Chain A
Amino acid sequence: MKTDNKTPVVSLTFKINLLTIALIGLSGLLLSLSYLPIFDETTKPLIDKKAYAIAESLGLSFRKAIENEIPLDRLQNTALVFDQVLKENKELKSIMFANPEGSLLYRDSGVNIDKGLTGFIKEKAGQSSRTYVLTSADVFHGLEMPVNYHGIYYGKLFIETDREYYRQVFQDILFDILTVILISFIVALEMLKLTINLLVTRPIELVAHALDEMKKGHYWQRLKSSGLGEFVSIDRQLNAIADSMTSRYRAAAARYENLSTRFAGARGLGDAARSLRAIEAEYLFEPPADVRQYRPGRIPNYRAPFFIFMFSHMLCLSFVPIMSEKMYRPIMGLSKSFLNGVPISAFMLFWALAMPLTGIWLRRLGRRKFIFLGCLISALSLLLTAFVSRYEYFVVLRSLSGVGFGMVFLCVQDIFLRGSQQEERSIASSYFWAAFFSGTVCGTGIGGILADRAGFSGVFIASALAACFSWVLFLFLAEEDKGSGEPKDMKHYDSALGTIIKNIRFSSVVLFLSIPGKIVLTGFLYYLVPLTLHGFGASQSFIGRVLMIFSLAIIFIGPFFARHFSKYFSRAFLSVSGSVLAGSSIIIGFLVHTVYGVVIGVTLLGIARSMYLPVVDALALEAFRDEELKKIGTASVLSIYGLFEKAGNVLGPVIVGLLLSFADTRSALLLIGTGTAACGLLYGVLHLIEGKKAAVS
């Protein structure tokens, strides 16, 4: 498309996106802030009641001291107790105890005693009372509790409540709100992309294409109105012009035929003939036999529904191992850590098993029905998972989810990669993976937040609904196609498998780069990280955010590596460095075995994967000579490579689970990290040796 008609669209898109994002951000923050006064007002009485309960509890200790004739000014560790109470009850600000003379005997270590407060305490402590009093003064806001024993007043406890507790609460959820806003940005951009494409970009491209064709003289072109009101009349106008020109030409041609038959040799016929021939030389009124269908902007239509579908499945990613740990019961003597990883492995296994299923049934059923089936299986399995309480059923439902996921994933991949024109394929691939990773980012982020609030069941119900919504979008956007019998893929597997795996370079890519990479992904990231962070006491929201960091690193840093580093470094070098960095990032989790160590490790892992993810499959192809590749077929190589990758996905949680059966988490991290780095280095060595051999031969 010419830049002339792109600019206004870009400008329009930019303005719409900017407005939407600005509104989302501002409205989200302002709405959250607006809730604070509600929170403050409604919780103040509860905080006061809590302060009363704590005052009563502390009072018991003072009364026991009095009962046993312990002088109240000789109690040790009182400040420690006050500090501990404040630590456990963030709604409280300070605790003090003063005797009837007004002397402050005990206070927590954080309280700031100024003149005003001293005077206030002296005054209030000097006043005996029978029951507690709620006070709100400049220097003190909270509860005064007298310590009486058998009618005698012994002093007063002052428990100050935090007037701005709601701010604390807001800070606690600020990260969650920002996560939701960030995810809303991504969702908004995806949906706007789809909408603007449908409403503006595609119709403009169609009209532009029509104008381009017509200016070249192709007057057989017609526009099928695919836009809305604004474009319908333009389409009709252009069609009318084309129609009128075509009918005029045909009438003129028929007329000439008639005249040349009736009045052969007449003067003027030559002029007419010349004019008609000039027209025929420049203009076409019938479509040529080899004309190709122009399908602009078809690819982005699938991006949004696929994004929603990915989102639906990734919602639960941050807590599957935690959920299976909760449902654990001894089965066949298998260890707990092994069983915790089985649901993830089951999902990956059945995702892989969906491939032959897709191969057979996609062509027979057609895309729409196949996607419907995949979404139906996904939605049902996710919904049922919300109500499952037994481990075995959980594994079965995760397997079903894997089937549904695999079906839609492979179908959409097929649409993106095989259905797009040759020149669009790289864009199609980037759209596909962009939807994949955006869906993962959004899903993991929101899933963690929802899990904290609505529980695991709530998240699975939301996942089922999102899967249904994605199907609705697919319904509107997926094209129908006819089945075409047996897929080519199956034939590729049969004939090429032996040849491919006998190739040492290919096998070394698979064994030392691809499979370890997948083991790290599913075993470390999806299994070990959530469990480890959960063990450290991290909330589900936090765990979801950590998994988001990984995907964000790939989304934002990956293209940077692809663009810049690939110019200066070879693919093999990038892959080896990526593997070593991945291994090192896991070892960081071992060395700094805290929440922050894990977060740093996950971030570096994202960077590492973005280094080698774009190049590893190319390395697998490079393992073959051109003539070999032509014979076997790129599709076969990639299909078999994909199979091995999926095997790595399945093995990841199994291997990590087995490691954890024999070693603790730290040792498991060290082993996985060292193993990954070693595999990368080993590949590097093999690559050098093979390279030297090739050079010598």
Chain B
Amino acid sequence: MISQCLLYVIWGRVDNVSSFWGRQVTVMRRPGSGKIYLLLVVIAILGCTLFLNASLNYLNYARNLKVLTNSRFSVIAQDLINSVEYGLNLGLDLREISTIQNLLAETRQQHNDISELFVIDEKDGLLFHSRADVKLMDAGLAAIIKEVDMNKRNTLVFSNMHYLIYPLTNQFNVRVGSLFLGYSSSLTEGMLAQAVEWFALYFIVAFAVCSLVIILVLGSIYSGFLGSLKKVRELLDMHARGAMPMDEAGAQTIFGADFSEFCSGSLRLAALLEEAERSMEKIENEN
């Protein structure tokens, strides 16, 4: 049934011109109930609205998650930057601020969802790393940061890691290096994946409930309308069989007085034709 509907929707064409020229009756290319189409359209509209709503809420959630995560790490990074700048303010070169190494290691220990912390110089050479055994920056990461404006704060995603990059500047605002704070993408991805499931589930439930309401309520509203059309068909049927529908019955259809007048007009025509036919039959019989 669904595939048939879809087939008609895709392949069928709506004949949207009704002409009263000629008498050929065009074959109806898309049979089926208008009720189904109406329900489908309303369900589709509601589906789109709910989808938009769910997407909006999900995107908002994702954004808040990102902001919450990054703002927390920014607090941590800012304290590190303050410590580095303290040393730079004293006139020390970045390489000479030996406390940075311990600071990075301690910070990483205190916040176990930080994967790595490191400082590079203005030529992107690694100076300090939260893990003392790391002496070189990842080559892939080093290649990517060449495309980035290192004079500004940046965020980068590389190899399942999120990096927050902060420039380190001296007292006359010349960049002398950068601080990298890296955390695993799985930190937020897991939560986002779970959120997608929940948001999708709630969306499906809401959609199902609304669709049911539409099918039941809208269906019955439309059925009421269909009833009035059925009445018209029955009266036309009666009329075709020669019975004259009651004036009130015709007037009470959705076509009102036009219907009754049509019926009386066509019955009058029928009467005139019968009269002519009778006369001619009489002539044939007499002759």
Q: Verify whether A and B have any Cβ pair under 8 Å.
A: yes
* Interfacial chain A residues near B141, Cβ < 8 Å: none
Q: Which of B20, B26, B33, B59 contacts A213 (CB 8 A)?
A: B20
The CA of A295 and the CA of B19, in the complex, are separated in Å by 7
Q: At the interface with chain B, which of A25-33, A105-113, A629-637?
A: A25-33
Cβ of A511 < 8 Å from any Cβ of B? Answer: no
Q: At the interface with chain B, which of A2-10, A403-411, A423-431?
A: A2-10
Q: Which of A53, A180, A232, A236 contacts B76 (CB 8 A)?
A: A53
Are A192 and B42 neighbours in the complex by a CB distance under 8 Å? Answer: yes
Cβ of A163 < 8 Å from any Cβ of B? Answer: no
Cβ of A54 < 8 Å from any Cβ of B? Answer: yes
* Interfacial chain B residues near A256, Cβ < 8 Å: 276, 280
Are A234 and B75 neighbours in the complex by a CB distance under 8 Å? Answer: no
Are A267 and B283 neighbours in the complex by a CB distance under 8 Å? Answer: yes
Q: Tell me, rounded to whole Å, the shortest Cβ–Cβ distance linking A48 to chain B.
A: 10
Known A53-B111, A225-B15; 5 more pairs at CB < 8 Å? A50-B68, A53-B72, A56-B79, A195-B38, A236-B25
Are A32 and B38 neighbours in the complex by a CB distance under 8 Å? Answer: no
Interface hits, B95-125 → A, CB 8 Å: 110-111, 113
* Interfacial chain B residues near A222, Cβ < 8 Å: 20, 22-25
Are A224 and B14 neighbours in the complex by a CB distance under 8 Å? Answer: no
Cβ of A591 < 8 Å from any Cβ of B? Answer: no
What are 14 of the A-B contact pairs (CB < 8 Å)? A5-B255, A19-B221, A30-B206, A53-B72, A173-B56, A222-B24, A225-B25, A225-B28, A228-B30, A237-B236, A241-B236, A259-B284, A272-B279, A453-B59
The CA of A148 and the CA of B257, in the complex, are separated in Å by 94
Number of residue pairs A-B, CB distance < 8 angstroms: 343
Are A479 and B16 neighbours in the complex by a CB distance under 8 Å? Answer: yes
Cβ of A226 < 8 Å from any Cβ of B? Answer: yes
Interface hits, B26-54 → A, CB 8 Å: 26, 28, 30-35, 37-38, 41-42, 45-46, 48-50, 52-54
Query: Are A28 and B61 also in contact (CB < 8 A) when A222-B23, A256-B276, A275-B279 are?
Result: no
* Interfacial chain A residues near B23, Cβ < 8 Å: 220, 222, 239, 242-243, 246
Are B38 and A16 neighbours in the complex by a CB distance under 8 Å? Answer: yes
Chain B residues proximal to chain A, CB less than 8 Å: 13-26, 28, 30-35, 37-38, 41-42, 45-46, 48-50, 52-54, 56-57, 59-61, 63-65, 68-69, 71-73, 75-76, 78-79, 110-111, 113, 191, 194-195, 198-199, 202-203, 206, 209-210, 213-214, 217-218, 221-222, 225-226, 228-229, 232-233, 236-237, 239-240, 251, 254-259, 261-262, 265-266, 268-270, 272-273, 275-277, 279-280, 282-284, 286-287
Q: At the interface with chain B, which of A38-46, A334-342, A486-494, A679-687?
A: A38-46
The CA of A4 and the CA of B248, in the complex, are separated in Å by 13
Q: Tell me, rounded to whole Å, the shortest Cβ–Cβ distance linking B279 to chain A.
A: 4
Residue of A nearest to B224 (CB): A12
* Interfacial chain B residues near A15, Cβ < 8 Å: 221
Q: Tell me, rounded to whole Å, the shortest Cβ–Cβ distance linking A255 to chain B.
A: 5
* Interfacial chain B residues near A638, Cβ < 8 Å: none
The CA of A236 and the CA of B209, in the complex, are separated in Å by 38
* Interfacial chain B residues near A293, Cβ < 8 Å: 17, 19-21
Q: Tell me, rounded to whole Å, the shortest Cβ–Cβ distance linking B60 to chain A.
A: 5
Q: Which of B19, B266, B270 contacts A224 (CB 8 A)?
A: B19
* Interfacial chain A residues near B76, Cβ < 8 Å: 53, 56-57
Q: Which of A50, A228, A268, A449 contacts B279 (CB 8 A)?
A: A268
* Interfacial chain A residues near B113, Cβ < 8 Å: 49
The CA of A94 and the CA of B89, in the complex, are separated in Å by 33
Cβ of A386 < 8 Å from any Cβ of B? Answer: no
Are B68 and A91 neighbours in the complex by a CB distance under 8 Å? Answer: yes
Query: Are A211 and B262 also in contact (CB < 8 A) when A39-B64, A187-B45 are?
Result: yes
Are A31 and B53 neighbours in the complex by a CB distance under 8 Å? Answer: yes
The CA of A296 and the CA of B57, in the complex, are separated in Å by 43
Cβ of A160 < 8 Å from any Cβ of B? Answer: no
* Interfacial chain B residues near A154, Cβ < 8 Å: none
Q: Which of B17, B46, B222, B237 contacts A24 (CB 8 A)?
A: B46
Residue of B nearest to A232 (CB): B28
Q: Is the interface of B mostly helix, strand, loop or mixed?
A: helix
Are B63 and A453 neighbours in the complex by a CB distance under 8 Å? Answer: yes
* Interfacial chain B residues near A184, Cβ < 8 Å: 45, 48-49, 52
Residue of A nearest to B225 (CB): A12
Are A241 and B240 neighbours in the complex by a CB distance under 8 Å? Answer: yes
* Interfacial chain B residues near A242, Cβ < 8 Å: 23
**How many residues does chain A have at the interface if contact means C-beta atoms less than 8 Å apart?**
130
Cβ of A327 < 8 Å from any Cβ of B? Answer: no
Query: Are A219 and B269 also in contact (CB < 8 A) when A23-B214, A31-B53 are?
Result: yes
Q: Tell me, rounded to whole Å, the shortest Cβ–Cβ distance linking A210 to chain B.
A: 7
Are B38 and A224 neighbours in the complex by a CB distance under 8 Å? Answer: no
Q: Tell me, rounded to whole Å, the shortest Cβ–Cβ distance linking A4 to chain B.
A: 2
Q: Tell me, rounded to whole Å, the shortest Cβ–Cβ distance linking A180 to chain B.
A: 6
Residue of A nearest to B226 (CB): A230
Interface hits, A280-331 → B, CB 8 Å: 282-283, 287, 291, 293-296, 298, 301
The CA of A47 and the CA of B111, in the complex, are separated in Å by 14
Q: Tell me, rounded to whole Å, the shortest Cβ–Cβ distance linking A191 to chain B.
A: 6
Are B68 and A43 neighbours in the complex by a CB distance under 8 Å? Answer: yes
Are B266 and A23 neighbours in the complex by a CB distance under 8 Å? Answer: no
Are A50 and B71 neighbours in the complex by a CB distance under 8 Å? Answer: yes
Are A279 and B283 neighbours in the complex by a CB distance under 8 Å? Answer: no
Residue of B nearest to A11 (CB): B225
The CA of A5 and the CA of B236, in the complex, are separated in Å by 16
* Interfacial chain B residues near A49, Cβ < 8 Å: 72, 111, 113
Are B46 and A215 neighbours in the complex by a CB distance under 8 Å? Answer: no
Residue of B nearest to A56 (CB): B110
Query: Are A224 and B273 also in contact (CB < 8 A) when A8-B254, A28-B49, A208-B255 are?
Result: no
Q: Point out which of A35, A237, A298 has the most chain B C-beta atoms below 10 A from its C-beta.
A: A35
Q: Point out which of A60, A230, A248 has the most chain B C-beta atoms below 10 A from its C-beta.
A: A230
Q: Which of A42, A180, A243 contacts B52 (CB 8 A)?
A: A180
Are A57 and B79 neighbours in the complex by a CB distance under 8 Å? Answer: yes
Cβ of A477 < 8 Å from any Cβ of B? Answer: yes
Are B272 and A278 neighbours in the complex by a CB distance under 8 Å? Answer: yes
Q: Tell me, rounded to whole Å, the shortest Cβ–Cβ distance linking B153 to chain A.
A: 16
* Interfacial chain A residues near B262, Cβ < 8 Å: 211, 214-215
Cβ of A34 < 8 Å from any Cβ of B? Answer: yes
Are A269 and B37 neighbours in the complex by a CB distance under 8 Å? Answer: no
Cβ of A231 < 8 Å from any Cβ of B? Answer: yes
Q: Tell me, rounded to whole Å, the shortest Cβ–Cβ distance linking B203 to chain A.
A: 7
Are A255 and B266 neighbours in the complex by a CB distance under 8 Å? Answer: no
Are B28 and A60 neighbours in the complex by a CB distance under 8 Å? Answer: no
Are A275 and B287 neighbours in the complex by a CB distance under 8 Å? Answer: no
The CA of A2 and the CA of B254, in the complex, are separated in Å by 10
Are B50 and A231 neighbours in the complex by a CB distance under 8 Å? Answer: no
Q: At the interface with chain B, which of A198-206, A528-536, A550-558, A613-621?
A: A198-206
Q: Tell me, rounded to whole Å, the shortest Cβ–Cβ distance linking A542 to chain B.
A: 15
Residue of B nearest to A45 (CB): B191
Query: Are A272 and B38 also in contact (CB < 8 A) when A4-B258, A46-B65, A210-B20 are?
Result: no
Q: Tell me, rounded to whole Å, the shortest Cβ–Cβ distance linking B282 to chain A.
A: 5
Q: Which of B21, B54, B78, B221 contacts A31 (CB 8 A)?
A: B54
Are B275 and A271 neighbours in the complex by a CB distance under 8 Å? Answer: yes
Are A42 and B194 neighbours in the complex by a CB distance under 8 Å? Answer: yes
Are B258 and A275 neighbours in the complex by a CB distance under 8 Å? Answer: no
* Interfacial chain B residues near A172, Cβ < 8 Å: 60
The CA of A446 and the CA of B56, in the complex, are separated in Å by 10
Cβ of A245 < 8 Å from any Cβ of B? Answer: yes
Are A38 and B28 neighbours in the complex by a CB distance under 8 Å? Answer: no
Are B31 and A229 neighbours in the complex by a CB distance under 8 Å? Answer: yes
* Interfacial chain A residues near B232, Cβ < 8 Å: 234
Q: Point out which of B35, B53, B257 has the most chain A C-beta atoms below 10 A from its C-beta.
A: B53
Are A237 and B65 neighbours in the complex by a CB distance under 8 Å? Answer: no
Query: Are A228 and B31 also in contact (CB < 8 A) when A53-B75, A54-B75, A192-B42 are?
Result: yes
Are A42 and B195 neighbours in the complex by a CB distance under 8 Å? Answer: yes
* Interfacial chain A residues near B279, Cβ < 8 Å: 268-269, 271-272, 275
The CA of A408 and the CA of B183, in the complex, are separated in Å by 49
Query: Are A4 and B255 also in contact (CB < 8 A) when A42-B194, A256-B280 are?
Result: yes
Residue of A nearest to B218 (CB): A19
